[in-house]
Chain A
């Protein structure tokens, strides 16, 4: 069964460092998303991406964040200068049909900022 894959599964970084989280969405999906979940809290929307551009973003997704689809398969989230409060689980998701909205999530990348 097709699945969304994310790498790395866990990354530890120093405050101020740049981090890139990678995702390979399901191949025939057209809409891509990043969500994050701080430990023990709810899942928060960061950004949605369609047709090679951001279609929607939250207040969390400030200038420190960027997304890119550098080739036909990868979808990346970059945090330019990490802060302690960026420590969270980051989930990539994708779907084929925006009208239904069912999302397929990856297993997540746990980011720990020290």
Chain B
């Protein structure tokens, strides 16, 4: 399958700390995306990194991609209680594939 694991499965930190989540995948990709899901809600796109990019920033988000290791990380700096949610990585394959393949997700809890 295209997707692998995310770790940790759950992460609990204090407000103001940085949160790092990791994602691994198995096959060649066109791009990798991170989504956020509040409990019981839909997924919201956060950031996309293409296979030829190594790092990308968006506000308090920083994403890295290592295609040699088939892994990505999402860093949220200066976390806030409102960042509490599940975070999923999703990969888009090559060869015209349209679908995104999602990881298991990391449940992030920010304690005030």
Question: Which A residues lie at the B interface, using CB under 8 A?
Answer: 4, 31, 33, 35, 41-45, 48, 50, 55-56, 58, 89, 91, 93, 98, 100-108
Pairwise interchain contact B33-A45, C-beta atoms closer than 8 A? no
Pairwise interchain contact A105-B44, C-beta atoms closer than 8 A? yes
Write out, one digit per residue, whether chain B residues 30-71 have a CB within 8 A of any chain A CB (1) or not (0).
110101000011111100100000000000000000000000
Task: Using A48-B99, A56-B98 as known contacts, say yes or no to A101 and B41 having CB atoms under 8 A apart.
Answer: no
**Quick one: which of A50, A101, A106 contacts B42, CB cutoff 8 A?**
A106
In the complex, B111 has a CB within 8 A of chain A = no
Pairwise interchain contact B31-A100, C-beta atoms closer than 8 A? yes
Q: Does more than half of chain B's interface fall in helix, strand or loop, or is it mixed?
A: strand
Task: Using A56-B97, A102-B33 as known contacts, say yes or no to A42 and B45 having CB atoms under 8 A apart.
Answer: no
**Quick one: which of A55, A101, A105 contacts B30, CB cutoff 8 A?**
A101
> 5 A-B Cβ contacts within 8 A?
A43-B88, A45-B100, A50-B98, A102-B45, A105-B35
Closest to B32 in A: A101
Closest to B98 in A: A48
Q: Residues of A contacting B30 with CB < 8 Å?
A: 101
Pairwise interchain contact A101-B33, C-beta atoms closer than 8 A? yes
In the complex, B104 has a CB within 8 A of chain A = yes
Write out, one digit per residue, whether chain B residues 97-112 have a CB within 8 A of any chain A CB (1) or not (0).
1111111110000000
Pairwise interchain contact A103-B88, C-beta atoms closer than 8 A? no
